[in-house]
Structure 1
Amino acid sequence: MHTITVIVPAHNEEEGLPATLESLARQTAPPDRVLVVDDASTDRTGEVAASHGVTVLRPPQNLGSKAKAQNFALPHCTTDLVLAVDADTVLAPDYIETVVPVFDDPAVTVAAGTVRTRHTRTIWERGRSTEYLFGFHWQRPIQARANSPMVCSGCCSVFRRDDLAAFGGFPERTIVEDMDYTWSQQIAGRKAVYVADAVALAADPEELTYLRKQVWRWMAGFCQNVRLHLGGLVRHKPLLAVWVLLALLEIVTAPLWWAAPFAAAVTTDQPLAVTFGWWAGADLLLTAPPLVYAAHRRKLPLSGVLVNLPCVYATKAVNLVYAWKALLVELLLVPLGLARGLTVYEKGRADTPTAAARDGTAALAGAGG
């Protein structure tokens, strides 16, 4: 029988935290303990957490990143499993019950389920919803079949505590601790598992300002991990290395794809409306089947899924800008000693300026932020 502690890092999360804690209280397999790390919040995060009857931990000062907040709580975990949940993520009632059994295999060190968006109110949320449905019902199942998941999502991952402690805790050396740990453990011969039937709902960017910060963090973190781990992946986890190289190839060639209808219009004397129609049709042919399957798999209205499809081009455009920025900064300028890269964790929504953020201004500027 497995025991499990939940860690919820929270900085100024009084608005989203109640739904997260309520979802934990509704679990069909309740956690043994819930720890909320109130990381120097300036709102009522600590009071809100305490009102839900969970243990609240307060660092003496702002720690500056999610991984550091999680590591502050790790010594208080005495169970064999640890579940890290973001303070704006809502778990399905059977999330813990569905994920925990995979740890009966002693080789499994980390596991996570499917992530979906909690809201689809704005163009950015709708675009992210489409990205999640496509990724978790096309790319992730293939990676799982190959025993090489790209990442166990940090908003809802379960860890084997002994392995996590032996590793030194949640990695703080990159800006995305979830990918860092997923790759590190697979290089070491341990298993990371995608549990498709476990569902978590994440609060995703509702405005461009927040989206830009999040995507820059994700893309910079991906490239930091490429810089740190690619050699080890090639030697010890070649299938995962293939996925990583394909992701890099997609970033490099994406501008060519976006420029294709314009180039075709110029070189073939066809009207732009015609070339764009062929381009859009080809893209739709590649994208729609996984979304249709996702709608069926998750019992979602197909019309609602498809109506969000055009919004994904807005989020893809933002992704492309920051993916190329990450390539230039993290894979070119940092190795050349011309930039520090992204070192300051900035979530985006409802952020309150802290000493850590002010101290990191130079780092952000050095990273081209």
Structure 2
Amino acid sequence: MHTVTVIVPAHNEEEGLPATLQSLARQTAPPDRILVVDDASTDRTGEVAAAHGVGVLRPPRNLGSKAKAQNYALPHCTTDLVLAVDADTVLAPDYIETVVPVFDDPDVAVAAGTVRTRRTRTVWERGRSTEYLFGFHWHRPIQARANSPMVCSGCCSVFRRDDLVAFGGFPERTIVEDMDFTWSQQIAGRRAVYVSDAVALAADPEDLTYLRKQVWRWMAGFCQNVRLHLGRLVVHKPLLAVWVLLALLEILTAPLWWATPFLVVATTDQPPASAFAWWAGAELALTAPPLIYAARRRGLSLSGVLLNLPCVYATKAVNLVYAWKALVVELLLVPLHLSRGLTVYEKGRADTPPPHSRPPHAPPPHSRPPRTPLAGSA
């Protein structure tokens, strides 16, 4: 029988935290303990957590990243499994019950389920919803079949505590601790598992400002892990190295693919309408089948899923800009000692509440403790 402690790192999460804690309380296999790390919040995060009857840990200062907040709680975990949940993520009622059995295999170090968006109100949320449906119903199952998932999502991953402690805790050397740990464990011969039947709903950026912050963190973190791990992946986990190299190839060739209809019009006699229709048809043929499968698999409205499809090109454009920035900064400038790369963790959502929601003793947003650069980052 596995035992589970949940760690919820939270900085100014007064608004989203209740839904997260309610979803944990509704679990069909309840966790043994829930710890909320109130990381120097200037709102009522700690009070909200305490009102839900969970353990609350308060570091003496802002720790500066999710991994550091999680590591602050790790010594308080005595169970054999640790579930890390973002303070804006809602788990399906059977999430723990569905994921935990994979740890009956002693080789499994980390596992996570499918991530979907909680809301689809704006073009950015709709685009991200499409990305999730495509990725978790096309790329991730293929990687899982090959026993080499690219990442166990940090918003809802379950870790074997002994492996986590032996590794030194949640990795702080890169800006994305989930990918770092997933790759490191597979290089060491341990298993990472994708559990498709377990579903988590994440709150994604609702506007461009915060989408840019999130995507820049994700892309920079991916390239930091490439710089750190790729050589050992090739030797110890070649299939995972293949997915990584394919991802790099996609980043490099994406501008050419997007420019294809313009190049066809410029270099041939083909009418613009025909060139763009051919390109759009090819895009639809490549994208629609996994989305149709995802809609049926998750019981979603097919028309709603397909209507969101155009929105994905807005998020893809943002992804591409920051992916190229990450390639230049993290894989070129950092090795040349011309940049330190991304070392400051910023969330992909507003984390400062409006003034009326702060307790009287709380400092204003501009005076909150500064974020701390990540230890060990280049």
> In which range does the TM-score fall when normalised by the shorter chain?
over 0.9
Shift of 1:192: 0.2
Query: TM-score w.r.t. structure 2 length?
Result: 0.94
What does residue 358 of structure 2 align with? none
What does residue 363 of structure 1 align with? none
What does residue 197 of structure 1 align with? 197
What does residue 339 of structure 2 align with? 339
SS state at 2:330 partner: helix
In 2, the alpha carbon distance for the partners of 1:122 and 1:90 equals 19
What does residue 37 of structure 1 align with? 37
Shift of 1:273: 1.9
Matched letter for residue 195 of structure 1: V
Q: Deviations over 1:68-114 (max 9, x none)?
A: 00000000000000000000000000000000000000000000000
Shift of 1:18: 0.3
Query: TM-score w.r.t. structure 1 length?
Result: 0.96
SS state at 2:200 partner: strand
SS state at 1:229 partner: helix
Shift of 1:23: 0.1
Shift of 1:348: 3.3
Q: Deviations over 1:171-202 (max 9, x none)?
A: 00000000000000000000000000000000
Shift of 1:271: 2.4
What does residue 361 of structure 2 align with? none
Higher relative contact order (CA 8 A, sep 6+): 2
What does residue 315 of structure 1 align with? 315
Shift of 1:64: 0.2
In 1, the alpha carbon distance for the partners of 2:201 and 2:135 equals 15
In 2, the alpha carbon distance for the partners of 1:115 and 1:228 equals 26
In 1, the alpha carbon distance for the partners of 2:216 and 2:13 equals 21
- What is the count of residue pairs matched by the alignment? 361
Q: Deviations over 1:48-74 (max 9, x none)?
A: 000000000000000000000000000
What does residue 279 of structure 1 align with? 279
In 2, the alpha carbon distance for the partners of 1:30 and 1:250 equals 41
SS state at 1:349 partner: coil
SS state at 1:6 partner: strand
Matched letter for residue 252 of structure 1: L
Identity of aligned residues (%): 87
Shift of 1:274: 1.6
5 Å matches for 1:44-63? 44-63=44-63
What does residue 186 of structure 2 align with? 186
SS state at 2:140 partner: helix
CA RMSD of aligned residues (A): 1.2
Q: Please list every run of 5 or more consecutive structure 2 residues that lacks an aligned counterpart in the other structure.
A: 353-365
Q: Deviations over 1:273-321 (max 9, x none)?
A: 2211110110000000000000000010100100000000000000000
What does residue 364 of structure 1 align with? none
What does residue 211 of structure 1 align with? 211
Shift of 1:143: 0.1
In 2, the alpha carbon distance for the partners of 1:61 and 1:272 equals 58
What does residue 355 of structure 2 align with? none
Are the aligned partners of 2:223 and 2:327 in contact in 1 as well (CA < 8 Å)? yes
Q: Please list every run of 5 or more consecutive structure 1 residues that lacks an aligned counterpart in the other structure.
A: 361-366
What does residue 174 of structure 2 align with? 174
Could you list the structure 1 runs, at least 4 aligned residues long, displaced by more than 4 angstroms after superposition.
none
In 2, the alpha carbon distance for the partners of 1:25 and 1:283 equals 42
What does residue 369 of structure 2 align with? 355
SS state at 2:136 partner: helix
Matched letter for residue 87 of structure 1: A
5 Å matches for 1:249-260? 249-260=249-260
SS state at 2:251 partner: helix
